Amino acid sequence: MVAAWRDGTDGVHMDRALAFARQGRGRTSPNPMVGAVVVSDTGSVVGSGFHARAGAAHAEVCALDAAGAAARGATLYCTLEPCAHQGRTGPCVARIAEAGIRRVVVAVGDPSPRVNGAGIAWLRQRGIQVDVGVRRAEAARLNEVFLTWAALGRPFVTLKIATSRDNRIAAGPGVRTQITGSAAAAAVHATRAEVDAVGVGSTTVLVDDPLLTARGARRRLPLTRVVFDRRLRTPPTAKMFGTLEAGPIVIMTTAAALGSQEPAADRLRAAGAALQPLETGAMAEVMQRLGASEITSLLLEGGTTVHRAAWSAGVVDRVQRYVAPVCLGARGVPWMDDGMSVAKLRDARVRRLGVDMLLEGHVQRLD
């Protein structure tokens, strides 16, 4: 028998659990952000917690530890399905049963092969009531990165681009062009501070020579820099090699290029790069390789060739287009022939960042 107070308050308690989960933002990869709240049979919150980092206690365990004996007969609200397997930590479902929890409310299931309903089934088989779906959409959006990686085996990909008002990305071929202002740059660095990796093509490295680091924003985990370079054109003198303390540099190339250009490959390795040989170099293969390396999120910053390849392969999940109030004219380098308008994006929104505008939204997502 479910107590009457639960009828209208499940959402309230799950909102509290979601708020706790957000405290792990930028800290938990490759794990999800998870929050949990323990509520007594009289409606009092007796414990709460969140997952702080990979290898640390899961949110459910933190909340149960905080609740202590008060967890017996209580309801546990959890933003993601509890695990039933041994990973970096023990299975949460066993700890839930031992604590005497009577009911578990789950926002969204975990599609990971080792979970995928097993946690819910384990609890129900032991007589614990499990209700699923309270604040499902909110929980899925919060963990869209993890859910994409867990279900598809590839990173959640954000395509980022800065264009002029007339859809140009540079004043001319091979011309380094600063398009947007300081407010937009700060927003980009804030995004870099949260993703696992930043990706660019070799042309971007040759033309812009970027550092590809998160500056002016606090980052808690190493940032992987990924260069898409089938021809091994990346120079070992690129500025990013002076920032290896910020995170690894991975060059995605082909086995054929490594075999035919051994001196160039050796110079890049000596500079600190890790070279990943691919069979075809196709974007789908690249993404699966990154996913297997526990890269759960990728900010794909350019250039146009890389963007087109990712778009054509159907691996873009979100678009961030920064638009500056300038026109570069017919000599400018166009971006994605048809451009990208908010009409083509789900949940699109427009924000002003100084003199620039940010158009962003989702292309595809798992709900």
257: left (phi over 0), alpha (psi -120 to 50) or beta: alpha
> Catalytic one among 60, 81, 194, 301?
60
Q: What is the rounded CA–CA span in Å between residue 57 and residue 107?
A: 19
Radius of gyration (C-alpha) of the chain in whole angstroms: 23
CB atoms within 10 A of CB 92: 29
Q: What is the rounded CA–CA span in Å between residue 138 and residue 111?
A: 16
- State both tokens at 366: 């798992």
Q: What is the rounded CA–CA span in Å between residue 71 and residue 38?
A: 7
Numbers of helices and strands, H then E, in the chain: 12, 16
Could you confirm whether 245 is annotated as catalytic? no
DSSP string, 43-95: S-EEEEEE--STTSPPHHHHHHHHHGGGGTT-EEEESSPPP-S-SSS--HHHH
Residues marked active site are found at 60
